[in-house]
Amino acid sequence: MNKNELDSILKKARLPEIAEDSLEMFPRRVVARLNRNDPPPRAARSFLPRLAWIAVLAACAAIAFAIGQWRGRMETSAIPATDTLASAKLIHEMMAMFPNQIRAIVQDDSGLKLVLSDTGDVPASPPLYVRICDGQHCSSFVTFSGQEIQVDGQTITVLSDRRGGIILAGTQFVWSSTERSPAAGHLKIEAKNLAFVAM
């Protein structure tokens, strides 16, 4: 079954008929609830006095500032805000959808791609974020220790050590997140163990 065939089946599905009297009564039920519970919208709008709104906004700003400070201490360098793979929610959702199947989630110029194992043999381990730029193009990955990623025609093995450091072993270089010397040729690499990052 292809995509169009599935869509056609889904669109053919109809809902149970709603009885005429139910359709007739429904608006009255809604209005009855409004009369019972709710003030008119304009009255509701003026419920909070202006000063209360200002206090709420100030509290939100203070919380946001505190979180920003805390995150700043947690991370030595920031994952780009525009990177979809920086969304912990999305990553956790994908991991829940395909348990032990995800080899890598890849984001590059062509969009997001999912590399799955057919056999569900990917061991459970903390997700690792890797971003590699070759001067013109950047690719981001969320993958796991022991998995291989393809960049610029090279196969790169991604490994993590016990302390959360990440090692990338390519055919022409070895790069480590714990060492300052970037021995990765023209590639600029950034990597983080997402288990240690509050995203």
Partner 1 sequence: MAHTAATNDESKLIELSLSGDPEAYAALVRSHQKMIRAITFRMTGSPDDAEELAQDAFVRAYRHLASFNGHSKFSTWLCKIAINLSLDWRRRENRRDNLHSQWAAETASENNPGAGFPDELSRRVQAALDRLPAKQRAAIVLTIYENQSHAEAAKTLGCAETAVSWRVFAARRRLKRLLKDLPHE
Q: Which residues bind partner 1 (CB under 8 A)?
A: 1, 3, 5-18, 22-23, 26-31, 33-35, 37-38, 40-42, 44-45, 84, 87, 89-90, 93-94, 97-98, 111-112, 114
In this structure, what token pair is assigned to residue 150?
């393809």
With left for phi above 0 and alpha for psi between -120 and 50, is residue 111 left, alpha or beta? Answer: left
Q: In the bound complex, what is the minimum distance in angstroms from residue 131's beta carbon to partner 1?
A: 16
Which pairing describes strands 174-176 and 138-143: parallel, antiparallel, or unpaired? unpaired
Instruction: Give per-residue burial for 165-196: e unless 16+ CB within 10 Å, then b.
Output: ebbbebeeeebbbeeeeeebeebebbbbbbee
- CB closer to partner 1, 34 vs 78: 34
- CB closer to partner 1, 2 vs 136: 2
In this structure, what token pair is assigned to residue 181?
């010397």
- Rounded Cα gap, residues 84 and 82, in angstroms: 6
- CB closer to partner 1, 19 vs 124: 19
Instruction: Residue 140: count other Cβ atoms within 10 Å of its Cβ.
Output: 21
In this structure, what token pair is assigned to residue 122?
């990917």
Q: In the bound complex, what is the minimum distance in angstroms from residue 56's beta carbon to partner 1?
A: 16
- CB closer to partner 1, 140 vs 193: 140
Q: In the bound complex, what is the minimum distance in angstroms from residue 1's beta carbon to partner 1?
A: 5
Q: In the bound complex, what is the minimum distance in angstroms from residue 28's beta carbon to partner 1?
A: 7
- CB closer to partner 1, 90 vs 159: 90
- CB closer to partner 1, 37 vs 136: 37
Q: In the bound complex, what is the minimum distance in angstroms from residue 27's beta carbon to partner 1?
A: 4
Decide: 191 and 130 in contact? Cβ < 8 Å.
yes
Q: In the bound complex, what is the minimum distance in angstroms from residue 33's beta carbon to partner 1?
A: 5
